[in-house]
Amino acid sequence: MHIMKIQKVEQPVIRLPWVNSMGVIGDPGCEGLGTYNMKVYAGTLEKSAEDDITLIAGDLVPAGNAHYYEEISALTEVIAHNDIYVLRGNHDTGAYTDYFGRKNYALLAKEFSVVVLDNAMRTFESDGLELLKQVLQMEEVHQVIIAFHIPIPNHFIRNSVSEEEFERLKEAYTPWKNKVKYFLCGHVHSRFEDRIDGIPLICTGGGGALIEDVSEDIRACDVEHHMVHFFMEKNELAYRFDELSENAYDTERKVPILRENLEKTVASELMAHLKYLMFADRAKRRGMDRIANLFEALAASEYHHARNFYSVIQNKMPFGESVEAFIPGEEFEYQHFYKMMEEYALQKDAPLTKQAFSGAAAAEKVHTELLKEAAAIDNFDKETVYVCPICGYVMTGDPVPDRCPVCGGPKRQFEVFQS
């Protein structure tokens, strides 16, 4: 008999005397349930297994219809190792209560409590605020997390509930303010910590959605996907952020047959991507713009398929180290493999193959030089890069030659990549 991990909350107060810790995952699904994003969510579920329970801090799905709820529930049930509770976010509309039950409820753990309040519509519901008062009045309750999706007014972002709504919340907890240890929210696809009315505010939205800029001080490039752990330490409720490696979930990559077939599928999808792009080019040259547009769209679709399949098996390095990791492959290609294939093609009287490898080798050498410069990410200053569409040669600097130095393609056809 399968014991459900996702808990459908039927009672306003749930006692969990065996619970000593809680993992929190923010905003896993609001940008879509594609494999690329769901790998991050899968990683947080596995990491949260060290806690007794997990709370999803809203936006489990991109929209509130049954299809998305079924899909995310099925994935969660397979990967989760502990009980999952859900907090409603602004994307969790429609059939939310059919799958997860009450929108306002309280979890009473062994030494701390969590009061979940629905503010997905930017207002706190009256029955939620009444529940908060009831829980705070309990003699057995001492250390409380007040959890909701959309932040209260803070020092970092304006994307919050109104001051009037915060005053309603404040009025509810103020008589027992000494019991409130943390405010907890999601909604913002990043992380920050603040102090509001003397109480720490923890904002976490790094459980799957792409990380975004919050302010000049909190940039997307400085924040990793993450989750939060709450735990007891010396009789006090404490927390820590746990940054998530993009390889955190690698269960499926370790299954040989899956990995082999995923690799074959990636190659097949990328081949389709290339074929469609090349046909789109042919259509453009004949002035058949609608046909070209269709095949460019199909090519984009095949690329995204390939990305999803590849994300399951990809073994990523931390971003800051990633650029340098591409250099050995480029060096091997132009120093050894391409040179060897040129010689073999020459022996077999295959001049087109020889020419293709020769042109590519020249480009790969430039790739290597540029990657070595880009390894110092913050100091890389090349704003414009040109690519010859005839042979793929890469050029930087201004001015660039009137013709490609490898194949002689004209400057007017160069593809321009400008930051």
Instruction: Please give the CATH number for the structural domain made up of 13-243.
Output: 3.60.21.10
CB 66 within 8 A of CB 35: no
Concatenated DSSP letters of 31-59: T---HHHHHHHHHHHHHGGGSSEEEE-S-
Confidence bin at 263 (pLDDT 50/70/90): very high
Residue 303's H or E segment, with its range, is helix 289-313
The separation between CA 209 and the C-alpha centre of its own chain, rounded to angstroms, equals 4
Pair of tokens at residue 296: 């460019």
| Sign of the C-alpha dihedral computed for residues 32, 37, 39 and 44 taken in this order | negative
Confidence bin at 318 (pLDDT 50/70/90): low
Pair of tokens at residue 191: 């992380």
Global pTM? 0.85
Confidence bin at 389 (pLDDT 50/70/90): confident
Please list, in sequence order, all residues whose beta carbon lies within 8 angstroms of the beta carbon of residue 42, skipping any fewer than 6 positions away: 75, 79, 248, 249
Task: List, for residues 55-90, the tens digit of each pLDDT value.
Answer: 999 999 999 899 999 999 999 999 999 999 999 999
From-to residues of CATH 1.20.1260.10 in the chain: 252-315
Confidence at residue 316, expressed as pLDDT on a 0 to 100 scale = 67
Confidence at residue 174, expressed as pLDDT on a 0 to 100 scale = 97
From-to residues of CATH 3.60.21.10 in the chain: 13-243
CB 241 within 8 A of CB 228: yes
Which superfamily is assigned to 252-315 in CATH? Ferritin, core subunit, four-helix bundle (1.20.1260.10)
| Sign of the C-alpha dihedral computed for residues 249, 251, 257 and 258 taken in this order | negative
Concatenated DSSP letters of 160-223: S--HHHHHHHHHHHGGGGGGEEEEEE--SSSEEEEEETTEEEEEE--SSSPP---SSSS-GGG-
Confidence at residue 2, expressed as pLDDT on a 0 to 100 scale = 61
| Sign of the C-alpha dihedral computed for residues 286, 287, 291 and 296 taken in this order | positive
Residue 320's H or E segment, with its range, is helix 319-325
Q: Is the pLDDT of residue 319 over 80?
A: no
Q: What is the mean pLDDT of residues 142-149?
A: 97
Confidence at residue 313, expressed as pLDDT on a 0 to 100 scale = 86
Q: Which residues pair with 396 in a beta bridge?
A: 385
Instruction: Give the closest residue to 122 by CA, choosing from 88, 58, 60, 165.
Output: 165
**Mean pLDDT over all residues of the chain?**
91
Pair of tokens at residue 229: 């752990």
27, 60, 185, 405 from 89: Cα distances, Å: 8, 8, 10, 56
